[in-house]
Amino acid sequence: MSEPAKDPYVAYWAECLSQSFDEHGVSVTPEQLAAIAQDVQSAHEMHGQAFYQPESPLIDEVRHLKEKHARELAEANRIADTWKAEGCRVAGVEPRRAYINNGEVYVSPR
């Protein structure tokens, strides 16, 4: 028997083919099995080109939701930074000494 395929995908196809060949009484050498498994893997990689399937509409929805979340997060950070700066201005402390936790502005000791 030859050394197992290093590519896990080819190894998967080799195992599938080996079981099928055994079940149907087909005899192949280990070298033939490896070559056929490689061919099946190559065919599998080209499946999308041979049988076009449009991209899932959910991908666009996920992209839209990620962009919306990024905009909302940027706005929330802008509001928090403004609030922090105003709190520091009123308290007369440097903004780098202040932090926000649960909606409250705290000033760290020197």
DSSP per-residue string spanning the chain: -PPPPSSHHHHHHHHHHHHHHHHTT----HHHHHHHHHHHHHHHHHHHHHS--PPPHHHHHHHHHHHHHHHHHHHHHHHHHHHHHHHHHHHT--GGGEEEETTEEEE---
Rounded CA separation 107/98 (Å): 4
Q: How confident is the model at residue 1 (pLDDT cuts 50, 70, 90)?
A: very low
Tens of pLDDT, residues 45-68:
888 788 887 778 898 899 999 999
Reported pTM: 0.46
Q: How confident is the model at residue 5 (pLDDT cuts 50, 70, 90)?
A: low
* Residue 72 in this model has a pLDDT that exceeds 60: yes
